[in-house]
Amino acid sequence: MQITQKNSTGTSASIRGLDDLRTEVVKASRYHVQSGTVVIDVGCSEGTVLRSVRDANRATRPGVRYLGIDVEPSFESHWRERAADDLEFRFADARSHRFDDASLVVSLFTFQFLPFATGCLCCNASTTGWSRAAR
């Protein structure tokens, strides 16, 4: 299954191997998505990867909700095209979003854009026990 996403930001053309990475994420999702949970794509961009993950798992994993979050409003028109009864997109900041009931959280090329000084849940030692990596 090859997923090619040409988006308005030109990401597909600027990151070598991105299409292959997207395809591998969809393949791997088949091992991790669990019925009755949530699958979240952090920094979902236009929503292509999340829609592909949904399409690959929908028939065998009932009751899954698929949620894409991003802070960029220019993606909204793409979200309307890809939304479905079990697939929604929201404007949300990953640093404060809750990941309850998630069986899979994916994020391709997003975390490097988060301001390090403000941190995020995955880097906050007081809530997860993880420590920040050396700069």
**Interval 11-48: pLDDT, tens:** 556 778 889 999 999 999 999 999 999 999 999 999 99
pLDDT at 125 over 80: no
Contact 74, 10 (CB under 8 A): no
What share of residues in the chain are helix, strand, coil (percent, to 5)?
35, 15, 45
- How far apart CA 108 and CA 13 sit, in angstroms, is 15
Does the pLDDT value for residue 101 go beyond 60?
A: yes
The arithmetic mean of pLDDT across residues 43-72, rounded, is 96
Q: What is the pLDDT of residue 41?
A: 96
What's domain 11-128's superfamily in CATH?
Answer: Vaccinia Virus protein VP39 (3.40.50.150)
pTM of the model: 0.76
Taking each continuous run of H as one helix and of E as one strand, the counts in the chain are 5, 4
